Amino acid sequence: MSKLPIDDLFEPRLTYPDFEPKERLARLVGVDDQKARLTKILSLLIHPKGLRDWAAKHHPSATGLLSLVQNRPPLVILAGDVGSGKTELAETIGDAVARQEGIDITLFPLSLSTRGQGRVGEMTQLISAAFEHAINEATSLKSAHGKARGGVILLIDEADALAQSREAAQMHHEDRAGVNAFIRGINRFGNGALPGAVIMCTNRLGALDPAIQRRAADILTFERPTSLQRKFILKNALQGTGFHEHDIDALVVSTGATKDRSYGYTFSDLTQRLLPAIVLDAYPNTGIHPKRALEIAKHILPTAPFKDA
């Protein structure tokens, strides 16, 4: 297989630690449990020496348990509703891991163009090449003793578009071959005990091939914000604009489920649609008013849930 240019395989790479992803991660609210758990999982996968040091201190005789944890496949699946923060977390969590472990980490976001143009063997070749590059990068950072010199995260967003279940009767042979390439790549990452991990994001967990799901060290789920989470976001964002508690509460109610729809706003609906719309409505001639903000909130239609057919 001829070597493919890296720009044909990945979106722009990110290197951590870095100030910009650190700020983005801090702004990501409502997913604190997922942040903490994903940081721990990736830290153990990318830098297993920390786990060995912990075991030596607290459970020096528990070698069997340590082996089980260490030998988990280096794959984490982030699954849940649209606009719930999966991709933003996947793109920024490397900064937290890099700072915690004191190493540089590079994120390789797989390009959706990796699906190819439908020519026979093309998708499989592209997927295999992407894994090959990430594995080679991780291999160069591996240390025979002690701390790795760095780490690698391979990010596969909209994973269901590339790793659909092979059980689907209508699945094309080329798609099946692509899924097999994914599984081989994940296995190679794990078998090499490399300082790297694979993150897959999907709106349709049920559409992912069962063999890929079984290989996940963990599957983290994401939901739409609760009323408490919506209040936290709105209250913090509108602080200093003259909104009172009852004004915030009214916005919280209007951004939740109603009798006409069974779902409320997503995190991105709040931060990327509603709050900017409130500002743009007032700018540049007047200030923000709670009554008008409520009208805007009632007018905006939240993103409909993705239906996992």
**Tens-place pLDDT, residues 194-230:** 899 999 999 888 888 888 999 999 999 999 999 999 9
The answer to whether residue 23 scores a pLDDT higher than 90 is yes
The whole-number pLDDT of residue 1 equals: 45
**Domain 6-222, architecture per CATH:** 3-Layer(aba) Sandwich (3.40)
Q: pLDDT grade, residue 41 (50/70/90)?
A: very high
For the beta carbon of residue 287, count every other beta carbon within 10 angstroms. Answer: 9
Q: pLDDT grade, residue 2 (50/70/90)?
A: very low
The answer to whether residue 127 scores a pLDDT higher than 90 is no
The answer to whether residue 281 scores a pLDDT higher than 70 is yes
User: The tokens 């920390």 sit on which residue?
Assistant: 50
Q: pLDDT grade, residue 146 (50/70/90)?
A: low
pLDDT digits (tens, 9 = 90+) for 232-255: 999 999 999 999 999 999 999 999
Angstrom distance (rounded) from CA 27 to CA 37? 17
Return the amino acid letter for 247: D
Q: What is the pTM of this model?
A: 0.86
User: The tokens 């630690």 sit on which residue?
Assistant: 17
More confident position, 74 or 145: 74
What percent of the chain stands above pLDDT 90?
60
Residues paired with residue 78 on neighbouring β-strands, in sequence order: 201, 220
More confident position, 111 or 135: 135
What percent of the chain stands above pLDDT 70?
90
Angstrom distance (rounded) from CA 52 to CA 152? 20
The whole-number pLDDT of residue 3 equals: 63
Cβ atoms 9, 110 nearer than 8 A = yes
The whole-number pLDDT of residue 8 equals: 75
Q: pLDDT grade, residue 73 (50/70/90)?
A: confident
Q: What is the mean pLDDT of residues 136-144?
A: 88
More confident position, 105 or 162: 105
pLDDT digits (tens, 9 = 90+) for 88-126: 999 999 999 999 999 999 999 988 665 555 554 577 888
Q: What is the mean pLDDT of residues 1-10?
A: 69
Angstrom distance (rounded) from CA 28 to CA 168? 35
Mean pLDDT of the chain: 88
The whole-number pLDDT of residue 189 equals: 87
**Helical spans, DSSP H, in 29-72:** 32-46, 49-58, 63-70
Q: What is the mean pLDDT of residues 72-81?
A: 92
pLDDT digits (tens, 9 = 90+) for 267-280: 999 999 999 999 99
The answer to whether residue 59 scores a pLDDT higher than 80 is yes
The whole-number pLDDT of residue 107 equals: 97
Going from N- to C-terminal start, the domains of the chain cover 6-222, 227-299
The whole-number pLDDT of residue 167 equals: 58
Counting runs of H as helices and runs of E as strands, what totals does the chain give?
Answer: 13, 6
pLDDT digits (tens, 9 = 90+) for 171-192: 556 667 778 888 999 999 888 8
